[in-house]
């Protein structure tokens, strides 16, 4: 993490710098006893966390926070202060600070507060990343219009959302979906050998390709659910395409909690893929 320090006491700045840089992952990119100079430098530098004195002449810590927040709302603030005034502290929290560190400085308290703010930033970054991935997945699924596109078109978009587009078995899956659509039959009822004019051995090889592609989709969707277990929409897709028990087993496997993953049931996946239009109505 990158820190900037603002305090009108030089000794405080050096103590804080020493505390922060004991962690090799942390760096003090600047410090100043002049609040206006600090504002100017923070604008020009890559800063994650600012530690700022609450009571400074000319520009207060709260005013500095409000100014910096206006041009970079992502920066986190820790206030250093000897004041016990509850109104002043309330105003600081309203301005958007994370924590207080009391003066005179207690090294253990300072380290603990800094660590908490760093953890908050890391958690926020992770949640933002997860949200971005899930939103992208749902956006791909939502981009499948029910009325204008055929079930085969929708199936192709779903396979893309599952990260299966580059798998060899995906073309086989789409070809069979098209047959299921035209014959109005589920997978078990199809006489694929007769319809495609292939041998039983060729059918077996085709289903092996399909099974490998479906396994990739199961693994990708399981990863999404591990990162976002409360997404009801993802859970509905997972159950419809793979069955809850198989997704759950795959999640446990990918988390290292058991050796075997979920089973790939071609019939379940193919019938579910054709029925996925239900989710777009």
The reply to whether 180 and 272 lie within a common domain is: yes
Mean predicted lDDT score pLDDT of the chain: 88
Q: Is the separation of the CB atoms in 48 and 23 below 8 Å?
A: no
The reply to whether 83 and 151 lie within a common domain is: no
Report the distance separating Cα 251 and Cα 240, nearest Å: 16
pLDDT class of 281 with cuts at 50, 70, 90: very low
Report the distance separating Cα 244 and Cα 241, nearest Å: 9
Does residue 82 carry a pLDDT above 90?
Answer: no
The reply to whether 147 and 114 lie within a common domain is: no
Model pLDDT for residues 116-168, shown as the tens digit of each residue:
999 888 877 766 665 666 666 666 555 555 545 788 888 998 898 898 989 99
Q: Count structural domains, the chain.
A: 2
Q: Which residue has the higher pLDDT, 55 or 264?
A: 264
Report the distance separating Cα 226 and Cα 221, nearest Å: 9
The reply to whether 69 and 196 lie within a common domain is: no
- DSSP, collapsed to helix, strand or coil, labels residue 159 as helix
Domain of residue 86, residue span: 2-127
**Burial letters 238-262, b for 16+ CB under 10 A, else e:** bbbbbbeebbbbbbbbbeeeeeebb
The reply to whether 155 and 271 lie within a common domain is: yes
Which of 111-120, 123-132, 199-208 tops mean pLDDT?
199-208
CA distances from 228 to 36, 133, 217 (A): 43, 10, 16
Q: Is the separation of the CB atoms in 263 and 238 below 8 Å?
A: no
Radius of gyration of the chain (CA): 28
The reply to whether 15 and 123 lie within a common domain is: yes
Report the distance separating Cα 180 and Cα 166, nearest Å: 22
φ, ψ for residue 82, nearest 5 deg: -95, -5
In this structure, what CATH number is given to the domain that contains residue 7? 3.40.50.2300
């Amino acid at each position: 993490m990158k820190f900037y320090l603002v305090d009108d006491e030089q000794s405080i700045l050096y103590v804080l710098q020493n505390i922060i840089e004991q962690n090799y992952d942390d760096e003090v990119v600047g410090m100043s006893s002049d609040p206006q100079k600090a504002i100017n430098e923070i604008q020009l530098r890559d800063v994650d966390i600012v530690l700022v004195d609450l009571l400074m002449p000319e520009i207060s810590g709260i005013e500095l926070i409000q100014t910096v927040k206006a041009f970079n709302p992502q920066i986190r603030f820790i206030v250093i202060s000897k004041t016990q005034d509850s109104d002043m502290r309330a105003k600081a929290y309203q301005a958007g600070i994370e924590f207080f560190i009391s003066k005179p400085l207690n090294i253990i308290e300072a380290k603990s507060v800094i660590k908490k703010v760093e953890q908050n930033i890391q958690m926020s970054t992770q949640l933002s990343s997860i949200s971005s991935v899930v939103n992208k997945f749902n956006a791909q699924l939502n981009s499948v219009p029910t009325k204008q596109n055929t079930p085969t078109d929708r199936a192709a978009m779903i396979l893309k959302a599952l990260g299966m587009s580059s798998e060899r078995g995906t073309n086989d899956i789409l070809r069979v979906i098209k047959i299921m659509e035209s014959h109005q039959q589920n997978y078990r009822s199809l006489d694929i050998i007769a319809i495609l004019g292939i041998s039983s051995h060729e059918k077996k090889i085709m289903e092996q390709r399909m099974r490998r592609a479906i396994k990739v989709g199961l693994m990708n969707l399981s990863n999404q659910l591990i990162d976002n277990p409360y997404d009801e929409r993802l859970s509905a897709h997972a159950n419809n395409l793979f069955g809850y028990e198989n997704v759950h087993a795959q999640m446990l496997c990918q988390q290292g909690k058991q050796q075997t993953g979920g089973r790939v049931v071609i019939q379940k996946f193919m019938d579910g893929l054709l029925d996925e239009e239900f989710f777009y109505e």
